[in-house]
Amino acid sequence: MISLQKIFGKDDKFFTLLEASAEEGRTSITALNKVLSTPDATPSLDAFHTAKETDKKITDQINEALVTSMVTQLEKEDIEVLSHALYRIPKTVEKFAERFIISAPIVQNVDFARHIALLDAATNQVVALVAMLRTLGAGKIHEAKALNGKLQQIEGDADALQLEMLRDLYSGAHEPIRVIALRDLFELLETVVDRCRDAGNIITHIVLKNS
Amino acid sequence: MFSLQRMLGRPREFFGLLEESAALGAESVAALRNTLQNRTQAPVLDAFVNARRKDKAVINRLEEMLTKVFVTPIEREDLQAVATQLYRLPKTVEKFAERYIIVWEKTKEFDFSLAAHMLESGTKIVVDMVKLLSSGGKLAEIKALDARLSQIESDAGRVILEALRHTYLPNGNTLGKIIAQDLYHILSDCIDVCRSIGRTLALVILKNS
């Protein structure tokens, strides 16, 4: 990496924005945890919408900075792809929240604790991986691969949980309308973990390229 | 495509990995067709998991090479795009198999084998297209294969639509119909993935012809 790039690239700004975007993903999961752990309270979409909108503004700022910056430490395409992947995390969480709110009367008494634990772990890994981007260089790939390995494991666990939930839904023990609503909700939660995995894969690829 | 790039870019290694990946996708689809033809025995997941895991290892090798090798036989973005698309096939087939295994006894009245057979035909075309990419195939050949793939996608779409029509009939077991719809949608995703691979390959070959 030539130092001129570092001088002109204003990399700090990109790293800060990417970290803020990853944090918004985690914020939306915290909001989700609150909603799902208090099933008696009337859920509101505000917290999810705010997290998603804040992330959208961050993504717009990144895109604008990419246009105005001549040189960046990371390749511009990589920054763009990563910022898009990070934005999709709170966006999918908001989608889940919207569906959860409209189907709340049908899906009462469902325990989402295991899903939340996986989502929490996945977003934490994403935040840690994004933080790594500030210190790219030789030897970092092992650290990135270890973090991404954990993320892959979480994604595998989420797939297994999804199958377990579907096995129960398809067992005939539930009303068909409940099956449809819960199937859609479980699929969206699995998609959130997939989005985290996608972000993890992109970051690992960036670290590999720059190691 | 200038020949120096092809000469220096370790074409055999890159294209060999793509061919390996396409073959693993075909292996996974063949296992699916077998499973759906033989519906008297409990299905097993091993063949699907093995094919997908081997494919993942192949794609990882290719991605690592892409970051280390200075010159590639075709643009590295194109190699990456083809590899990513190819991996989606065994992954989506495995998703179908995972779901099917937990509900196969509840869906005996629904036929998935015709769509699976069409998927297999499409996958064979994908394998041929990847070989054409390796050998620097002619434009006419790739266009003909792409047209066949497009026809298969269209026919499979009609087959799945017809199958879905039965699930909307008012009589019968509602849960069974919901499950069958889920499975038909994943099969439809598999066909879409196959079509996307073909489209990506056709564009890449067109660019490099």
pLDDT digits (tens, 9 = 90+) for B51-61: 999 999 999 99
Which residues of B are less than 8 Å from A170 in CB distance?
Answer: 102-103, 106, 175, 179
Helix and strand element counts for chain B (H, E):
7, 0
Question: Any chain B CB within 8 A of the CB of A179?
Answer: yes
pLDDT of residue B126: 97
- Which residues does chain A have within 8 Å of residue B182's beta carbon, measured at their own beta carbons? 183
User: pLDDT-derived band of residue A19, with 50, 70 and 90 as boundaries?
Assistant: very high
Of the candidates B93, B83, B188, B69, the residue with the CA atom closest to the CA atom of residue B130: B83
CA distance B209 to B139: 7
- The pLDDT tens digits of the residues spanning B85-98 come to 999 999 999 999 99
Q: What is the pLDDT of residue B136?
A: 77
Alpha helices in A69-139 (DSSP H): 76-103, 113-132
State the average pLDDT over residues A154-158: 96
Cα separation values, B71 from A97, B63, B74, Å: 47, 14, 9
pLDDT at B6: 57
Average pLDDT over residues A164-184: 94
Q: Is A94 helix (H, G, I), strand (E, B) or coil?
A: helix
pLDDT at A77: 87
User: How far apart are the C-alpha atoms of B63 and B191, rounded to whole Å?
Assistant: 25
A170:B179 CB<8 A: yes
pLDDT of residue A71: 78
pLDDT score at A107 = 87
State the Cα–Cα distance between residues A144 and A131, nearest whole angstrom: 10
Closest CA relative to residue A22, chosen from A168, A127, A104, A152: A127
Higher pLDDT, A79 or B172: A79
Q: Read off the pLDDT band of A5 (50, 70, 90).
A: low
Percent residues over pLDDT 70 in chain A: 94
| A72 pLDDT tier (thresholds 50, 70, 90) | confident
Contact A112, A93 (CB under 8 A): no
Point out the residue among A180, A205, A209 whose CB comes nearest to the CB of B178.
A180
Is residue A1 within 8 angstroms of chain B, CB to CB?
A: no
Instruction: Classify residue A125 by burial, with Cβ atoms within 10 Å: 0-12, 13-18, 19+.
Output: buried
pLDDT at residue B7, as a whole number: 56
Residue B77's pLDDT is what? 84
Tens digit of pLDDT for each residue in A113-148?
999 999 999 999 999 999 999 888 777 888 898 999
**CB contact (8 A) between residue B67 and residue A205:** yes
Find tokens 């570092």 and name the residue. Answer: A6
Mean pLDDT for A150-168 is 95
Tell me what pLDDT residue A11 has: 64
pLDDT-derived band at A30, boundaries 50, 70, 90: very high
Asked whether the predicted pLDDT for residue A4 surpasses 60, the reply is: no
What is the residue-wise DSSP string for A55-88?
HHHHHHHHHHHHHH-S--SS-HHHHHHHHHHHHH
Which residue of chain B comes nearest to A173, CA vs CA? B175
Nearest CA in chain B to A159: B95
> Is A21's pLDDT higher than 70?
yes
ipTM of the prediction: 0.79
B102/A170 Cβ within 8 A:
yes
Task: Mark the ranges of chain B whose per-residue pLDDT is less than 70.
Answer: 1-9
Cα–Cα distance list, B171 to B108, B168, B175, B182 (Å): 16, 9, 12, 18
